[in-house]
Homo-oligomer: A and B are copies of this chain.
Amino acid sequence: MGKSETRAIQPTREENYSEWYQQVIKAADLAEASPVRGCMVIKPWGYEVWENIRHVLDGMFKAEGVKNAYFPLFIPMEFLQKEAEHVEGFATECAVVTHHRLEKSDGKLVPAGELAEPLIVRPTSETIIGESFSRWVKSYRDLPVLINQWANVVRWEMRTRIFLRTSEFLWQEGHTVHASADEAMALAGRMLDLYETLARDYLAIPVIKGRKSESERFPGAVETMCIEAMMQDRKALQAGTSHFLGRNFAKASNILFQSERGRMELAWTTSWGVSTRLIGGLIMSHADDDGMVMPPKIAPAHVVLLPIFRKDSDRQPVMEYVENLAARLREKQYAGRRLGVEIDAKETGGARGWEWIKKGIPIRVEIGPKDMAKGAVFMGRRDTSHRDRKSVGTDLFVDTVTDILDDIQYKTYQKALEFREAHTVFIDARDGFYDFFTPSNPQQPEIHGGFALSHWCGSPECEKKIKDELSVTIRCIPYDRNLAGDGPGRCICCGKESPCRVVFAKAY
């Protein structure tokens, strides 16, 4: 392969992290900007990652008894007003439909047919789903109601970044109704566990589970739980949230049920979601200066076969060998689906190999007349250097391919975990805290800090002061006692008593 000295992505992470991110997306052909402000086009190689996430989660949801359904894209404007905090949270950034027709006026199209009441393109569906739930739920016998929706949502973002923050994105939103607060909280907790499983076991992203401080909660929620991951610039990414909504939305939507004792009671609801933002997290967790690195369990394809022809007469026998190998590999199952095998016979230069490195496919296999002659393939793994390739007997390769994938999956996770651990520190001194979050190298101001596990007194004032001065927020109050600490301490900001440590970080 040609460019063995330079790296495939320019600039590198160290040189310009934000630009590196954009270039990885471009080089791996995952997505692109669209002519519509803040909206992206998800290209096939990126969309297949989403399909795999969807497949994994959907199976886990169904095993929990959750059913999929579909609710309207539009929400009457008045619905947003039903829940007081909810309207504040979403009214400032939404797409508003005001007309239902276009007319020609002086040869130009203009909106016509004004609606009596404007419609909002859903930023989230609590209110419109709540309206259905108010009709579906009559008695405790109807509970719990466990519904999920795979859909697109729109939040009018001013500063967008592909996958991480886009005006339109794809997500799943789960919505449930329960007869008791305990049952609702337990369900919301189980869903958070599923998100952790998805992140850890499929996306190879280590996450910290915890609950949000009041100021970081979902608008209208009583409790917001989340999983937080560390990106390679050491910033936090909120990778999934699960909300216990108490009776707030039941009250707003009038979701009442007759209890076993015959009384009419307000129900308890939850909601929970992950989005295409996870793909941004996947890139920032694993990609390197050679491009994307796909964890095998979520990769669009697992192996690419690259036939090599030295001369024209090689073509037929090599292609036969390659097609036969592909057929053998495709008979195998990996992570609940058929092994994905690509054949790229386009050309034989180094550019082709680099293309697949940049796309992050876990295993590259070159096969030329010499390999064929000795019954071998020439294999490279995406989790090791592109120079670190070796000849493997073809039968042995077929027999061990899923083990190799498991090994790549494991090492990809370990690498991300070690990175997070290297940049997670317990800090008890205020000066040390401020130093930690201040860039020391002016050449790379984007990469600094990490997760600070520090005490916090619980006051919104301290939280706000830190946010204003350092752009650092409380990512979560972690459930893990190894992180939260096993006793009280002193707030990093005001020095007053604090019950536990929390995760402070800059965040996406």
Binding site for B on A (CB under 8 A): 32, 34-36, 39-44, 47-48, 50-51, 67-81, 87, 91-104, 109, 111, 113, 118-121, 128, 131-132, 135, 147, 151-152, 154, 156, 168, 170
Distance in Å: Cβ of A366 to nearest Cβ of chain B: 21
Does B102 contact A94, Cβ atoms closer than 8 Å? Answer: yes
Distance in Å: Cβ of A12 to nearest Cβ of chain B: 26
Task: List the B side residues contacting A32 at CB < 8 Å.
Answer: 132, 135
**Residue in B closest to A71 when the chains form the complex, CB atoms:** B41
Does A109 contact B97, Cβ atoms closer than 8 Å? Answer: no
Does A101 contact B44, Cβ atoms closer than 8 Å? Answer: no
Does B87 contact A96, Cβ atoms closer than 8 Å? Answer: no
17 pairs, A vs B, C-beta closer than 8 Å: A32-B135, A34-B72, A34-B131, A35-B131, A36-B72, A39-B73, A43-B69, A44-B67, A44-B68, A74-B95, A91-B102, A92-B102, A94-B100, A95-B100, A95-B119, A100-B156, A111-B118
Distance in Å: Cβ of A103 to nearest Cβ of chain B: 8
Distance in Å: Cβ of A423 to nearest Cβ of chain B: 33
Distance in Å: Cβ of A39 to nearest Cβ of chain B: 4
**Residue in B closest to A158 when the chains form the complex, CB atoms:** B100
Does A102 contact B120, Cβ atoms closer than 8 Å? Answer: yes
Interchain CA distance A67-B30 in the complex, whole Å: 13
Does A34 contact B147, Cβ atoms closer than 8 Å? Answer: no
Does B73 contact A154, Cβ atoms closer than 8 Å? Answer: yes
Does B69 contact A132, Cβ atoms closer than 8 Å? Answer: no
Other A-B pairs, 14, CB within 8 Å; known A36-B74, A94-B102: A41-B70, A42-B70, A44-B67, A44-B68, A70-B170, A74-B168, A77-B109, A78-B109, A80-B102, A92-B102, A93-B101, A95-B99, A96-B98, A99-B118
Residue in B71, B93, B170 whose beta carbon sits within 8 Å of that of A100 in the complex: B93
Q: List the 3 closest A-B pairs by CB distance, nearest first.
A: A44-B67, A39-B72, A91-B102
Distance in Å: Cβ of A107 to nearest Cβ of chain B: 10
Interchain CA distance A325-B87 in the complex, whole Å: 50
Does A35 contact B111, Cβ atoms closer than 8 Å? Answer: no
Interchain CA distance A67-B48 in the complex, whole Å: 9
Task: List the B side residues contacting A152 at CB < 8 Å.
Answer: 73, 151-152
Distance in Å: Cβ of A200 to nearest Cβ of chain B: 26
Distance in Å: Cβ of A351 to nearest Cβ of chain B: 13
Does A47 contact B72, Cβ atoms closer than 8 Å? Answer: no
Task: List the B side residues contacting A147 at CB < 8 Å.
Answer: 44
Distance in Å: Cβ of A414 to nearest Cβ of chain B: 32
Interchain CA distance A74-B95 in the complex, whole Å: 10
Task: List the B side residues contacting A109 at CB < 8 Å.
Answer: 77-78, 80-81, 87, 91
**Residue among A42, A75, A97, A104 facing the most chain B CB atoms (10 A cut-off):** A97
Interchain CA distance A48-B150 in the complex, whole Å: 13
